[in-house]
Amino acid sequence: AEAFFAVFDLPPYYSFDAGSLHVTVLDSNDRAWADMDTRTAWLASDLASPLPRKIAAFHHPPFSSDLKHPGGDQGIRAEWCDILSNSGVDAAFSAHTHAYERYRAGGTEYFVVGCGGAPFYALAEEKPEGYQAGRGQTLGYVRATVSADAIDLEMVAVAEVPEGDGGVVTMYPAGTVIDALRLPADAAPESTGWWAVLAALSDGTALSRLQG
């Protein structure tokens, strides 16, 4: 990891604006805890942005039914979730749990999008409070479309993988949506003209933005 960061000197947290959308990206990995107070204070300041729509992305999910990490990352939940809710963040995207899940807490939608290709994790039948939807053993990605009226979020399934991650993979028809959510704007802002695609890779959450 240190060799990687010596070559790719990326900021551990940053944000950018796209029209009426404010996007905040955080590093939640182990090295983050060495200066967690600093980045938590930065998060609160950053989310004071006056833009009407806000999303956040970080690797570790504060809510999850993953048997390996029951309930989700409690430390991240304690540090950041109240700030996200109090700042009016519409949605937060994470990975780490190799499955798809969606939770709702404090007015924020929490997406776990760990279905980009790594071996899948088993999910518990008992879900943390706020559970809305989920799917295991399914490769896919979440598509977020931002307009003047709403943020439309769709979980697009690409393929179903057999238990144990072996055998024949079943492809879904192109564009198959297995979960969808519309977050209407409180007051119609100017159209952003941007759309974002988020997919969880084995080593983190990837966030891309393209001009539409």
Which residue is associated with the tokens 């009407």?
52
Domain range 2-211, CATH architecture: 4-Layer Sandwich (3.60)
Retrieve residue 176's tokens. Answer: 């198959």
**Any bridge partners for residue 181, and if so which?**
153
pLDDT tens digits, residue range 150-204? 999 999 999 999 988 888 899 999 999 999 999 998 744 333 443 444 544 333 3
- Show the tokens assigned to 203: 């080593």
Instruction: Write out pLDDT tens, residues 76-100.
Output: 999 999 999 999 999 999 999 999 9
Burial (0-12, 13-18, 19+ Cβ within 10 Å), 209: middle
pLDDT for residue 10:
74
∠ CA 82-65-173, nearest 5°, is 105
pLDDT tens by residue, 18-65? 999 999 999 998 777 888 999 999 999 999 999 999 999 999 999 999
- Sorted by where each begins, the domain ranges of the chain are 2-211
